[in-house]
Structure 1
Amino acid sequence: MRLILFFTFIFNIALATGQTVVRGPYMQSNTHESIIFMWRTSTETNTKVWYGTDPNNLNLTKVISANVKDHIIKVDGLAPLTTYYYAVGTTSGVLAGGTASYTFKTHPVPGTPTPTRIWAIGDFGRGNQGQIDCKQSFENYTGNRGADVWLWLGDNAYQDGSDAEYQSKVFAVNGFSDVFSRLPFYPCPGNHDYNSVWPASTTLGIPYSNIPLVNHKGPYYDLVEVPKYAEAGGYPSQLEVFYSFDYGDVHFLSLNSEVFDYTLSYDGINQMIQWIRNDLDQNTRKFTIAYFHQCPYSKGSHDSDAAYELVIKAMREKIIPVLEEYDVDLVVNGHSHVFERSYLMNGHFGKSDSFNASTMVKSATNGKFSDGNAYIKDNSYATKNGTVYVVCGNSGSSEGGPALNHPAMFYSDGGSSAYGSFVIDVYKNRLDAKYLKSDGQIGDEFTILKKDLVLQSLSNLIICKGQSANVQALFTGGSDNLEIKWVAGSTITSGNTATLSPVTTTTYTLSVKDLYTQQIETTTFTITVTELPAPAISEPLPGTLEAVSSVQNISYQWNINGNPITGATSNYYTPQFNGNYTLTITNQQGCSATSEVFIVQSLSVEETTSSTLKLFPNPADNQITFSISDDMINAPYSVIDNQGKIILSGIADSKNTILNINSLVPGNYILRIKKEDKTINQSFIKK
């Protein structure tokens, strides 16, 4: 048996090592509950993936039995916002992975506010040092934090987006390609990617032919599996040509500038416009980012004013007005091999000489949060607060001597050694964006803040005089820097919660201010203070007490010597003992008032002066001890409640008697000892 097992093990190793992974593995369509693994093997094999939340225990597997070189396998049933580890291979064994560097983190459920880091690179796929440096500068910058979303801005593999170029300049670049094992990407194509798409999609291979969107095919489309059915949020496009997805409270639209056609029919663009409207009509995310390849505004390696830039012109005139109609926050492009960043702007759809800063710039500041100049927008696309446009086409490509003088741009960087990428962080109502140069320096940064505070109204309250009301501010949105005040005249209480103690009916204003956006939301409410008039006690008949009160709908509680009398809850009461009686009334709001003391002394009990009775402790918990004089030994005793009912009884057969009262309910009682014509009474309280 050992020999058979040994040869079986050697045979499996041989099968597993007979193939190698020549591309990947890499990941696509990461969602809150699923992900797609892709890789290429040197020979055809079946497909298997191992995965789990412990890198040392990949306890989940999935297999596809068909033999292929290009492997695509989707796993479902994953937990949101959870880190997993994986390995890929065949049913004969693992070919790649199985270590902590082969990992991914699922998305949060769409719409769940989550700190989010986005990394965008454009025109990167050259396999050169600039591409490697951009990746390394990002890893140095982000450290273990990593990225949650990786955007490709097009021209992903030069010169023609062929399969061989994707292999040599994207998936097999030392110093760059290790990122694929741990970071899924969300791509869009560029014109260079389409150099291999057109020959595969049209008979003559003529660029920008007017062909159905479903017929766009080629190496780019072979190697991506995007969430075209809204698996990750958004609206289904049912196409890989353009699509949308969510990460937390950020919505992304991956658009395609290459659907332009040279006949100027705009069939592809118009289909994309209709889908954009469908997508943004249902979008409720805090921030919206659109990205596509050919930039609407640039004075870099491409001049957006040039007569031959027909695709740029079409995107600027056809797509940008739709995005601005929905007040999209950020548009990110590549194509021009520079970095450019606009002001917060709106309404510029022409050439640069038509740009009017006085009407089109919504904020002429630098946008830097640290300077107090963050761009501030409301939380609705009904008001056109403006969009920031970013060109980041220098993540591997560069251009010597660009003009960089577009009037819409606040910041520009270019030149033969100017490489960089674009980093976006989103937290709550704040978006921070940075141009990260390949040398690790931050070249530009800006912040967009949203006025998104929504304050719930508070109900009016009723309290009793002398009481307090505990209140809490209930709201959604806002930053981490809020000022919360409860104001009544000159009295101000600060904090998310407050204890308010008005002595009279008072109206309060709750004010919540976001100190970053200066948005203030207020609501008012009233605390009504109720004061019950104290009741009085009368004795309409001898031995009968009556409550006298003008208040309606109240409850009653009679007390003796400051202690509640069990069961004495009507407006009349017949005293059983002498003592100090009071009456407490309570209304439906829980407010109470207590009468003055009414002294009862008319209840006579024949007592001897020569006999004694001592009782302790008083009040008592579980037992009492009573002592009697010699003449009362062997006399019967009884314990009587405040209704006159005998609860306990016995014979006092010694001078000292211990009596267990554990069975008594808390209240007032009398211990009575009677012998012939002698009676002794002693009241006590059971706690």
Structure 2
Amino acid sequence: MKIFLTTLIIITGILTCLNGLAQCSFTPTITPSQPILCPESTDTLMTQMYDSYQWYKGNNPIPGATNQFYIVDGNDVVEEFKVAATLDGCTEFSDAVLVDGYVFLLPYVIQSGDMGVFDPDTYTTILCTGDTLKLELGLPYSENIQWYDDGSEIQGANNQIYYVTESGSYYVCGAPEVCPDYLQCLGVTIDVQFVDPTPVITLNNDELIATEADSYQWYLNGDAISGATDPTYIPVISGSYTVMTVNQYGCEGISEPFEYFTTGVETSSNNMFYISGSTHEQISITFPQPFSGTLTLFDLSGRALMNKKTDNKIYVSLDVSAMPVGIFFIKMENSKGVSVAKCIKN
């Protein structure tokens, strides 16, 4: 009987000791359990409510970190944190959580569409008038997008894609979808210049001259003139001359028609009209039969000064009182053909 009581006392003592070494009745946890920080941001680690706290970074207690929460920032990325919580004199550790962080590439822009020619001296993309350059902000920057031209916001330009149709200095800002407040801007500007390839024809001593280009093709009344591929062309007959050019950037353009008239009076074989009188006030034109068509008055440079339509007329008078003194050409055109005559205002 003594042996039994002695054994019972020993067992009871052991259980009492084990009970003193048992874990607390609670286990603290940390939320969020998998924190991921956006660049330049913070997050708050939180545990349940207990009597007291001590936060740890790795296995080292953080001085002063004795609140229910602890704020982590970019300096804490790839570090583990845990908290020791005490309740009713019993202290228990939470599982550690790893603080991670997002890392993004710098913003970049993809260019497509009409690419033009890049000028390495000015770092400018040269495009032809009418071209369209497509700019696309690369992923992951898809939120809070704003495109800029010469430092000013482009109203309504808030998509990943922007179409450039005017000269300017462009850049863009945006943020990743997972970190919409992490706004980043393109580190360089995209400088774009549009050039108008339209040539201009001038007249110098009966020679037609086109503005400077890399290649030329002259036309008469819409038809290409064989072999006329120089910057200048000497016309031999009256007509409507144009020139098509390609400039150094590969831009193709065609000029406005230049009406050229040879000196002297030109009339067609059917004698469509003749000038019966010319003064400083008006020019009188008489047709051999009723005429329906268009009369156009040009100066020596081929510039149209007056245009008048007639319907079944024998006689037409043009008011030239506002015109300067000089030589003019009158072109008559209808379904039967074209005739040109020279007249002088004294």
Report the TM-score when normalising by structure 1.
0.24
Greater RCO (Cα-Cα under 8 Å, separation 6 or more): 2
Larger Rg: 2
| Higher strand content, 1 or 2 | 2
Select the structure that is richer in helix.
1
